[in-house]
Amino acid sequence: MSNDLSVFVCTYNSAVTLDDCLSSIEKAVEGGRVIVIDHESTDGTVEIARKHGATVLSERTGLGRARQMAFDSVGTRFLAFVDSDVEIVNLGFFRSAVADLEQKGNGAVVGMAVGHRLAYGLPASLLVVRSDDFQGRVIPDQIDARETFYIQERLDALRLKTVYLADAIVHRSQFRRYKPEWEGANTRLACGVELGQLAFALKVIVLMSINSKSIKNMAYAPVFYLKFLRGFVNPRPWVRLRREEG
């Protein structure tokens, strides 16, 4: 399997979580090809990536550009995205994902967080697709979040469905400040003013809060959505997430 799979980790000041992330990938895909695409980190991220033997590529535009670089540079049948703040705990995930993608009609496999039971959308925290399905330009460079909108568009055009595998990861999210506005701004850039996308965003926020089983997170969901709308209505100040600010 390792000869058929390339694993891409997009990083930006990810030093706190990257070591655990890459260690878990090494266990899940022994001898696999791991490529870190870094957004000019200043905190030791690149040094950690090289310590693990990962190939390091650089970009200075944003997450959309990083994802497109992965599609452009992949040389294997399957491509995986793993977020830098994710630790893979189901070490058989990639083998199961490849098996699912061998089945007709399947186009993507998502690894869900431990304990989460409500699936939604196309999160790229842990995502595996076939490389041949994503030839050419997929994601515009100016997008810095909500880039999975374009991945979903490609899957829809090919009439392919997504498979969700439970209890695959632990997600230690950092840099939560201004994240709702950032996602709202990039949703506006990707989708324009579509009421359907606003309804979809609300659905995802509610399902995420329920999955967490945290009363605090459930209570925060309306606030998160209002902040999301703040970025959606006025995207310019929020398009880029500055991680040095949290």
Single out the residue in 113, 136, 171 at which a domain terminates.
171
Q: What pTM, to 2 d.p., does this model score?
A: 0.91
> Do 31 and 50 belong together in one domain?
yes
Query: At 171, which amino acid appears?
Result: H
> Do 158 and 125 belong together in one domain?
yes
> Do 158 and 185 belong together in one domain?
no
> Do 67 and 187 belong together in one domain?
no
- The two three-digit tokens of residue 167, written as one number: 């209890």
Average pLDDT for 4-25: 96
Between β-strands 86-88 and 106-113, what pairing exists: parallel, antiparallel or unpaired?
unpaired
Single out the residue in 128, 143, 171 at which a domain terminates.
171
Q: What is the DSSP letter of 159?
A: T
Assign 3-state DSSP to the chain and report helix, strand, coil percentages, each to 5.
45, 20, 35
Per the structure, how many domains does the chain have? Answer: 2
Single out the residue in 139, 171, 203 at which a domain terminates.
171
Residue 173 pLDDT > 90, yes or no?
Answer: no
> Do 23 and 109 belong together in one domain?
yes
pLDDT at 116: 93
Three-state secondary structure call for residue 172: coil
Average pLDDT for 135-148: 92
In angstroms, the CA 120 to CA 112 distance is: 10
In angstroms, the CA 13 to CA 41 distance is: 5
List Cβ neighbours of 223 (8 Å cut-off, separation of 6 or more): none
pLDDT at 245: 45
List Cβ neighbours of 103 (8 Å cut-off, separation of 6 or more): none
> Do 65 and 33 belong together in one domain?
yes
In angstroms, the CA 61 to CA 1 distance is: 32
From the list 198, 196, 171, 169, the residue with the least C-alpha distance to 183 is 198
> Do 166 and 232 belong together in one domain?
no
pLDDT at 246: 45
Residue with the bigger pLDDT between 242 and 104: it is 104
> Do 148 and 90 belong together in one domain?
yes
> Do 32 and 115 belong together in one domain?
yes
> Do 125 and 24 belong together in one domain?
yes
Q: What is the DSSP letter of 223?
A: H
> Do 159 and 196 belong together in one domain?
no
> Do 105 and 153 belong together in one domain?
yes
Q: What proportion of the chain, given as a percentage, has pLDDT over 90?
A: 83
Average pLDDT for 134-147: 93
Domain boundaries, position 75:
2-171
